[in-house]
Amino acid sequence: MSQRIDTLLERARRSLERVSPQDLADEVAAGAVVVDIRPAADRASDGELPGAVVIERNVLEWRLDPTSEHRLAIASDDARIIVVCNEGYASSLAAHTLQQLGVTRATDLDGGYRGWRHYRPPA
């Protein structure tokens, strides 16, 4: 039996063109902004995502809504925002919410930080 959250997640992901860990560098090279929404404790224990803008989940919408008085300079309706969480669940919901605010090119990283860490090419 499906849980309501599973249904919500499935609906959210229908609107996303999720980015694979292998394609993240190309997206960044094309101008995408990576936004890490993981809590500070997770970033401290698991590591930082190089080049990512850190915006914790509880303030994400206020920082990236182009109409918010609390927005960051990167906030715009046409910004390519790639949201990253630990495993790619919360980021899907967050990216969908950003789309509902008008940031139509918002998406997330499939597999989250842990997926990226697992698949990233050696330095």
Q: Can you tell me which residue has the tokens 């008008």?
A: 102
Mean pLDDT of the chain, nearest integer: 94
CA 14 to CA 96: how far, in whole Å?
9
In this predicted model, what pLDDT tens digit does every residue of 43-61 receive, in sequence order?
A: 999 999 999 999 999 999 9
Mean per-residue pLDDT, 24-53: 96
The per-residue pLDDT for 123 is: 58
* Cα four-point dihedral sign 61, 65, 68, 71: positive
The per-residue pLDDT for 54 is: 98
The per-residue pLDDT for 105 is: 97
Domain extent listing, the chain? 4-116
The per-residue pLDDT for 120 is: 67
Q: Which fold has domain 4-116?
A: Oxidized Rhodanese; domain 1 (3.40.250)
The per-residue pLDDT for 115 is: 96
Query: Does the reported pTM lie above 0.95?
Result: no
CB 74 within 8 A of CB 91: no
